[in-house]
Each structure stands twice: as structure tokens, then as C-alpha cells.
Amino acid sequence: MENNQEVAFNIFLKNFKKNVSKIGLKNSIQKDYILKVLYFSKEHLTAEEISNKIRENYNVSIGIATVYRAMKFLHDMKLVNMLDVGGSSIRYELSLAEHHDHLICNNCGAIFEFTDEIIEEQQEKVAKKNNFILKEHVMTIYGLCEKCQ
């Protein structure tokens, strides 16, 4: 018997496939596995970590170039957020959760999610003051986490 998370994921995947088909693009089993790994992950994952989790959890081999292409596709579809954590590492998360911003430790690479209504309101004010319609934004604060200070 499927648990609630599995049921929710299957509904999410079905809708994703329907939307991809509607706009005339192709889906692949590799994207399904990538989405499943991201959906059930509590972490922000690199392409390498996604590939490894697919191999470990589902016994399916997926090339790193395939993961990168899929991540670009999913990002373009606004399903995946890309997080630049500095260096050469990009981390990914599904963009299904409510909007949030990130704190990234420059030393250990830890990522902390946060929300702050004052920051959100201030961004709206700045946009309005400059006759700008705010559609979306990304806020990432870099520094040192409590452990690394």
C-alpha cells in the first residue's frame, strides 16, 4: 500500500507529464527518477548526488550529462531551483515548497532555509519605487554558520 507521500508524488508526476506533453516536449524515465529523488530529498542536492541516489535507491544508472540536461530542462520549466553555493557546485531543489530564501555557509557549505516577511515587503517597496513589477527573486546570504564561527 502506498503512503500519502507516494500518492502525492504520483499525482505530481502525472501532472508534470501532462504539462510536458501539452507543450510538445518529451519526458523520459530519467527525468521521472530525478524528480522522485528531489521530491523525497530533505537536502539540496548536486547533480552528482542525484545520480548517485538514483543508482543506490533504484538500481538505475544515469549519466551525469543526462542529469545536467534534465536539471536545465526542469529549471526552465520552473520546477527546480538552482542554488549557487560558491565554487563550482550548484545544488538543486524542487520549487514546490512555499517561497523561501537561503543562508549558505562559506566554510562548510551548510544550507539553511528561511522566510522573512519584512525582507519580502521591502523588495516589493523597492520594485514599486522604481516602477518595476516584481515577478520573482532569489535571495542567498553567504557567511559563516554557528558551527564555523
For 119, residues 6+ apart whose C-beta sits below 8 A from its C-beta are: 101, 139
121 annotated as a binding-site residue: no
How far, CA to CA in Å, does 44 sit from each of 111, 114, 144?
8, 14, 18
- pLDDT above 80 for 86: no
Q: What is the CATH number that goes with domain 98-149?
A: 3.30.1490.190
105 annotated as a binding-site residue: yes
pLDDT for 54 equals 96
CA distance 93 to 97: 9
- pLDDT above 70 for 39: yes
2 annotated as a binding-site residue: no
pLDDT for 36 equals 94
For 23, residues 6+ apart whose C-beta sits below 8 A from its C-beta are: none
Q: Could you give the residue range(s) of every CATH 1.10.10.10 domain in the chain? A: 1-95
117 annotated as a binding-site residue: no
Candidates 1.10.1740.10, 1.10.10.10, 3.30.530.20, 3.40.1440.10; CATH matching 1-95: 1.10.10.10
75 annotated as a binding-site residue: no
CA distance 27 to 67: 13
pLDDT digits (tens, 9 = 90+) for 108-143: 888 898 999 999 999 999 999 999 998 888 888 999
